[in-house]
């Protein structure tokens, strides 16, 4: 199935919102990790979201180019091609783009989508995230509104964030963020709806104590009631039709019961990155340690080409990552949830 169009993407998100489930949004950095995600969604007959961060895009472009936008374009083109061969709906998204990267990341990606749309094609990405949480709220909303208008003209959905997701991801460290910044207020959630909803649909990463990175279960102190209270405030002041499509960042180490609770409050997308990094790498480590003398040329020996061929262990990495995404699909209750019709 081709990548979802604007109406299909909205349909995916609306059905998730009304049905009490969410889509895993999988960060990818290579064609291999993208293939792992595609296979997982197809195996579970679940629509899904594949996303690229600024760091992921930079890595994908190669060390000789190191261009975050160009790498993201390359990965997106790969997914556009491969998605044609799977019977589920896939949406493409870009993850956290902080203010200092807007001109060199979102700018070129929007320009590429404009070129595609002018030729009657789909935009390259279905949605983009602008993370202005480091800015004062008014400045965050000013830039978010400007980007929201640009995205809507191209049939792209914007994701924004207020509050700060703690921890560290992709080179951005918020481990020392003030405690009050880890929780979005109900007043902010109402104000965001007032500012952005008139332009069109958007996604919202409201923070409720969530953190990036990996933590043991129980170490992350979530307060899902933050989302509930905010949504109720929006409903009371603006009506139920203005409640938010919410995004859960930093889910590693969260209790499954807490994840399920957030689904009842409007979470329709949950980012998965740390866990899939580990489950891609772990089988590779096992392979290299188990076949140490075959992957190295030791003491004049020639090793074993079938063992040190990167394809041998990258397939294992892909399979490990696919299995973790399958688990995420089950946890988020999106198994069998596809709007694809043949």
CATH label of the domain that carries residue 38? 3.20.20.70
What was the pLDDT predicted at 166? 46
For residue 93, being part of any structural domain is answered with: yes
- Domain limits for position 272: 6-277+321-331
For residue 187, being part of any structural domain is answered with: yes
What was the pLDDT predicted at 201? 98
Q: Which of 7, 11, 47, 95 is catalytic?
A: 95
For residue 140, being part of any structural domain is answered with: yes
- Residue 90 CA to residue 84 CA, distance in Å, equals 10
Task: Look at the chain and report how many structural domains it folds into.
Answer: 1
For residue 109, being part of any structural domain is answered with: yes
For residue 293, being part of any structural domain is answered with: no
Name the residue among 146, 24, 153, 147 with its Cα closest to residue 91.
Answer: 24
Residue with tokens 């079938």: 306
Q: What is the dihedral of CA 35, 41, 47, 52, to 10 degrees?
A: -40
47 carries an active-site annotation = no
Ranges of the chain with pLDDT below 70: 1, 164-181, 210-220, 252-253, 342
What was the pLDDT predicted at 165? 56
For residue 342, being part of any structural domain is answered with: no
Name the residue among 237, 207, 69, 65 with its Cα closest to residue 132.
Answer: 207
Token code pair at residue 8: 């299909």
What was the pLDDT predicted at 254? 76
What was the pLDDT predicted at 223? 87
For residue 263, being part of any structural domain is answered with: yes
For residue 1, being part of any structural domain is answered with: no
């Amino acid at each position: 199935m081709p990548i979802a169009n604007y109406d299909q993407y909205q349909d995916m998100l609306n059905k998730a919102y009304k049905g009490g489930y969410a889509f895993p949004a999988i960060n990818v950095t290579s064609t291999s990790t993208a293939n792992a995600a595609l296979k997982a969604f197809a195996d579970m007959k679940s629509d899904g979201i594949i996303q690229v961060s600024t760091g992921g895009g930079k890595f994908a472009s190669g060390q000789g180019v190191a261009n975050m936008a160009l790498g993201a374009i390359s990965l997106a083109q790969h997914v556009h091609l491969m998605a044609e061969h799977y019977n589920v709906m896939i949406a493409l998204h870009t993850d956290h783009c902080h203010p200092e990267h807007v001109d060199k990341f979102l700018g070129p990606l929007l320009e590429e989508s404009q070129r595609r749309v002018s030729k009657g094609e789909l935009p390259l990405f279905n949605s983009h995230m602008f993370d202005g949480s480091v800015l004062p709220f008014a400045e965050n909303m000013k830039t978010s509104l400007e980007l929201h208008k640009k995205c809507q003209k191209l049939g792209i959905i914007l994701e924004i964030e207020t509050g700060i997701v703690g921890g560290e991801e992709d080179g951005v460290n918020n481990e020392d963020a003030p405690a009050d910044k880890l929780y979005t207020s109900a007043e902010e959630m109402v104000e965001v709806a007032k500012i952005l909803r008139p332009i069109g649909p958007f996604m919202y990463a409201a923070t409720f104590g969530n953190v990036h990175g990996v933590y043991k279960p129980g170490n992350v102190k979530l307060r899902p009631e933050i989302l509930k209270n905010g949504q109720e405030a929006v409903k009371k002041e603006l009506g139920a039709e203005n409640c938010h499509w919410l995004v859960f960042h930093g889910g590693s180490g969260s209790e499954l019961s807490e994840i399920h609770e957030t689904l009842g409050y409007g979470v329709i997308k949950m980012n998965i990155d740390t866990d899939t990094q580990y489950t891609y790498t772990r089988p590779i480590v096992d392979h290299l340690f188990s076949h140490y003398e075959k992957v190295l040329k030791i003491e004049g020996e020639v090793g074993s080409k079938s063992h040190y061929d990167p394809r041998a262990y990258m397939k294992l990495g892909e399979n490990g990552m696919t299995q973790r995404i399958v688990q995420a699909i089950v946890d988020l209750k999106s198994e069998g949830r596809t709007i694809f019709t043949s």
